[in-house]
Structure 1
């Protein structure tokens, strides 16, 4: 594996069900993501994009094959290790935002730090809110923010612990085209600052703004 490869997958499969009911939804022979890349993962709905993101982010375990991060196999490690790994090394951005509706934007950004003692991360959370263009809206709850603003909160949350890899699953899918373009510009800026970004999308305009396009169909990279 090349020294600049941040994360890779080898012979990755994901199977749901057992015996005669088993369905293979993912079969990826080889995938390498280099540090600092900005990649679009494209293909129609149901092609396996989210499944692959979940495996790379160790939210799920492969049925077969290996996830390798900085040269070390991680997919078979115990759940305690994977929990720490997800928190420290991966930033997740979801189409549906997944914000907690009963707390402020600031506290939503600080959620990843709650198990670590979140108080010492308040200053960083405030700075991230400013960087994503929401200064002055720290105290608002998600229902008082637009869809684009909620996604900006989600991006700030993903950045709180300074992850190596950002995985974004249809980050513009619930947004109008203008707001979606703003979110993509924000992700591009993060990439220009050194973050490795993988964006799953079915929007060709989003894919065209990325540096590399990995196309999927029927659970495979084509």
Structure 2
């Protein structure tokens, strides 16, 4: 059995999760502050991948970044970047598709933090930036961990979006979910079963790790 699709899926999930941690945490914090209509629109757009069929999102990304369209031509001419049928395209599509899994839990955690925590930090002479990194982020560490794990697991099992924008190129865009589909298409159920079992095992371990981490995070010191 060719394990390359498994490693490619893991690589995609790791890169996507890392980039979304960098992007998602500031977005979640910004959304958790005082609400206005613009923020409601932004949050709705971020949440759309949760309810939008993956093939629809993948189709529009394929159109937007196709070399035949203005945006795709501009990226290729000015940055020599081609997102369609490339691993870079998979990363970009995965960031958009998994963004709500990163932003929503962290935004909820920020929203439930008492304002007195930040205010107490300010009275002690800490700046907003110092308060954010040394007080607020450590306080919501379990939510950040949960968001990262959910993002990783969600990216690991993507199919519709990655197939639409990445196609099925061995070693480049053929991730595990596509390998399962290919194996079923040619009735190679043994290979499909191996791929599915590996993804099942990885996902199960990920979910267990979330429960264990969160249980330890909230455990009483008197237990």
Q: What TM-score range do you get, normalising by the shorter chain?
A: under 0.3
Q: Which has the higher helix share?
A: 2
Q: Which has the higher strand share?
A: 1
TM-score under structure 1 length normalisation: 0.26
TM-score under structure 2 length normalisation: 0.26
